[in-house]
Amino acid sequence: MAKKDFYETLDVARNATDEEIKKSYRKLAMKYHPDRNQDNPSAEEKFKEVKEAYEMLSDPEKRAAYDQYGHAGVDPNGMGGGGGFGGGHPFGDAFGDIFGDIFGGRGGQQQRGGPQVYRGSDLRYTMEISLEDAAKGKVTQIRVPSWDECDVCHGSGAEAGSTPETCPTCHGQGQVRMSQGFFSVQQTCPTCHGTGKHISKPCKPCGGAGKVKSNKTLEVNIPAGIEDGMRIRNAGKGEPGVNGGPSGDLFVEVHIKAHGVFEREGTDLHCTVPLSFTKAALGGEIEVPTLHGGAHMTLPEGTQTGQQFRLRGKGMPHVRSASTVGDLYVHVVLETPVKLTAEQKDMLQKLDESLKANGDKHSPQNKSWFDKVKSFFD
């Protein structure tokens, strides 16, 4: 009897993606599995067809040959009669494909027993640093919790004179097997929590944990250019693992204090500098602050309030490239003089009259603004 088209067997289109093929295979394999169809003898044959179709279409080379030559391209010797499944149980690989993704292991294969190993929990430490420290980087020390072996029980967790016993529930395996329908799933033992041991007389100083909590000093290297909210990972500095499992990690979360002068935007800095009326009008050199001391910059004549000037390379370094440095943007704000003397007021009045006498050439923005709003006064 002629073989059925593999695409029809899996109920997918010929241009189906690998994920679509795999999804359909899982669905059909579960549907026709013999353990779920003991009263339907034809289900086993259907299951074999689905398995064979998936084997061919999930392999890029076999699928390409099948698309070009049909069954002859993948079965030149006529591999029918249930062949092509390999040795052993004909459903072993199918269990692996379906249940391996669900339960994280090869289905149908009993995993090795023994106490369950768990990774320790991660710890988080939050610290604040100044903007100057963020720009330069620094090495600092922090106090973090640590766990040392108990001096009384020497890590066994049992009271002096006693020893841990084999867990009566899992018999030292750390796992118990739970059956759900035709599934058989292993779970962590609820009595010993995966250790495989039962401590009837726990050590009082450590509460049966075998470790006591203390504090230790840890050195943390903060890189130059670090940004607010970034975390520094210290591998293996978290809580210890269970049953010889690896320790967790310590994450140091860095926050940067608000600065009185600078505002940060990525690697760029912004600051506001007050400017006198005369300096803005006449221009000239002024001194502006930077994170590394004062810097000089030259203002053009007629500088207006709100104008922005850039000082290249005076910002923050990039955290992943110290040679890449941002810029400092200086925003000038004109400061109106206050508490003037009569003489100063008279001088300003004369200056104002002089400026007006020369028309609009001294106040181009004022002329432009008045042209826009004069219709409101008509």
Tens digit of each residue's pLDDT (9 = 90 or more) over 363-378? 666 655 556 556 555 5
Torsion on CA atoms 274, 278, 282, 285, rounded to nearest 10: -40
Q: State residue 361's pLDDT score.
A: 64
What is the rounded CA–CA span in Å between residue 18 and residue 353?
83
Give the integer Cα–Cα distance in Å for 266 and 272: 18
Q: Is residue 57 packed enough to be buried (19+ CB in 10 Å), middle (13-18) or exposed (0-12)?
A: buried
- Please report the pLDDT score of residue 327 as a whole number: 96
pLDDT at res. 103: 39
CA distance 156 to 194: 15
pTM for the model stands at: 0.57
Residue 355: the pLDDT is: 80
CA 22 to each of CA 8, 28, 56, 101, 372: distance values in angstroms, whole numbers, following the listed order: 14, 10, 12, 11, 69
Go through 245-259 and write b for each residue having 16 or more CB atoms within 10 A of its CB, e for each that does not.
eebbbbbbebebeee
For the chain, domains (ranges, CATH) are 6-103 (1.10.287.110), 116-147+210-258 (2.60.260.20), 263-335 (2.60.260.20), 342-377 (no CATH)
What the block records as the tokens of 269 is: 């800095």
What's the confidence (pLDDT) of residue 253?
92
Please tell me the number of Cα atoms within 13 Å of 259 on its side-chain side.
Answer: 21
21 within 8 A of 12, measured Cβ to Cβ: yes
Query: How far apart are alpha carbons 174 and 111 in whole angstroms?
Result: 12
Task: Judge whether 21 and 29 are in contact, CB under 8 Å.
Answer: no
Q: Are 130 and 258 in contact (CB under 8 A)?
A: no
Q: Do 241 and 117 form a contact (C-beta atoms < 8 A)?
A: yes
CA-atom Rg of the chain in angstroms: 38
Number of other residues whose CB lies within 10 A of the CB of residue 281: 14
Q: What Å distances lie between residue 252 and 127, 137, 146, CA to CA? A: 7, 15, 15
C-alpha angle 344-345-348 in degrees, rounded to nearest 5: 85
237 Ramachandran zone, left/alpha/beta (phi>0; psi -120 to 50): alpha
CA 174 from centroid of its chain's CA atoms: 32
Long-range contacts of 23-31 (CB under 8 A, 24+ apart): 25/50, 25/53, 25/54, 25/58, 25/97, 26/97, 26/98, 29/54, 29/94, 29/97, 29/98, 30/98
**Residue 69 confidence (pLDDT):** 67
For the chain, residues with pLDDT lower than 50 are 76-111
> Helical H runs in the chain?
6-10, 18-32, 42-57, 60-69, 71-74, 92-103, 131-136, 277-282, 342-357, 364-373
- Cβ pair 156, 206 in contact under 8 A: no
Question: What pLDDT, on a 0 to 100 scale, did the predictor assign at position 333?
Answer: 93
φ, ψ for residue 110 (rounded to 5)? Answer: -70, 130
* Residue 261: count of CB within 10 angstroms of its CB: 14
Model pLDDT, residue 136: 93
Q: What angle do CA 328, 333, 337 make, to 5 degrees?
A: 145
